[in-house]
Amino acid sequence: MESMVEILLVEDNPRDEEMTLRALKKRKLANHVHVVRDGAEALDFIFGQGIYEGKTNKNSLKVILLDLKLPKISGLEVLARLKQNPETLKIPIVVLTSSQEERDMVESYTLGVNSYIVKPVDFEKFTEAIGELGLYWLVINKPPL
């Protein structure tokens, strides 16, 4: 965890967090994951501020898995700030949410989200989806240099 963080998981629900991590582990992708509980912490972590003072992670992140319903600062706002900042706009962001609301979906895409995934209730499907997206963004996708 102290090494390069490649996946930032922003998730306030510890049970979902555990399931997500478990799914990533199955694909051996859990080594470079950092978990934050709310939007504010996510921004602090990325920009190296607050409790993460002195260490920015914006350059190492390969993907951010972002829940929308978050305490303090909502997922949509985090998404907006990152996509509006030239330093972070290239970091791929995948919204991972239970919300099937069209409004959320449209808003997210408008703000520049790279992928929007509705968390399936079905465990198998959930595990598969998380595994697939981890693999895709970390291994298959070629980020700009």
Partner 1 sequence: MTTETGNAVNDSVRRASGPGRLSQVFMIGILALLTLILIFAGFSYYRHSALNIQAEKVNELKAIAALKIQQIVSWRSERVTDAYMNSSGLVRSRILRFLKNPADEELRESLISYWRMLCSSGGYRSIYLVSTRCVPLLVAETGSTSMIPSPDARKIVSLAVASQTVIFGDFVQCEFYEHVHLDIAAPVQGEDGQIAAVILLNIIPDKLLFPLVQSWPTPSRTAETLLVRREGDEVVFLNELRHQAAQPLTVRHSVSASDDLPAAAAVRGKTGVFAGRDYRGVNVVADLSPIPDSPWFMVAKVDRDEIFAEARSRGKLILLLVCLSLIVSFTGVAFWYNQSQVSLIEEKFRAEQQLSLSRAIMTAVNDTVFVVDPETAKFRDVNEVCCSRMGFSHEEMVKMGVADIDPIFDMKEWPGIIARARQSDSLTVESIHQRKDGTRFPVEISCRYYCAEKGQDYLIASARDISQRKQAQSELTKYQHRLEELVAERTAELEAVNRELEAFSYSVSHDLKAPLRSIDGFARYLEEDYGKVIDDEGRRLIGIIRGSAKEMGQLITDLLAFSRMSRKELEMTTIDMNSLANDVWKQTEGLRDGRKISFEVGNLPAIRGDKTAIREVLLNLLANSIKFTRLSVKPQIELSACENDGQIEFMVKDNGVGFDMAYKDKLFCVFQRLHTSEEFEGTGIGLAIVNRVIQRHGGKVRAEGKVGGGAVFYFTLHADADFERAK
Task: Return residues touching partner 1 (CB under 8 A).
Answer: 13, 15-16, 19, 22, 68-69, 97-102, 119-124, 126-127
CB of 12 to partner 1, least distance (A): 10
CB of 14 to partner 1, least distance (A): 9
String of DSSP letters for the chain: --S---EEEE-S-HHHHHHHHHHHHHTT--TTEEEESSHHHHHHHHHT-GGGTT---TTT-SEEEE-SS-SSS-HHHHHHHHHHSTTTTTS-EEEEES---HHHHHHHHHHT-SEEEEPPSSHHHHHHHHHHHHHIIIII-----
Cβ proximity to partner 1: between 17 and 41 the closer is 17
Cβ proximity to partner 1: between 6 and 104 the closer is 104
As a whole number of angstroms, the longest Cα–Cα distance in the chain is 41
CB of 114 to partner 1, least distance (A): 21
CB of 43 to partner 1, least distance (A): 21
Cβ proximity to partner 1: between 53 and 122 the closer is 122
Cβ proximity to partner 1: between 118 and 135 the closer is 118
CB of 97 to partner 1, least distance (A): 7
How far apart are the C-alpha atoms of 66 and 78, rounded to whole Å?
9
Cβ proximity to partner 1: between 16 and 44 the closer is 16
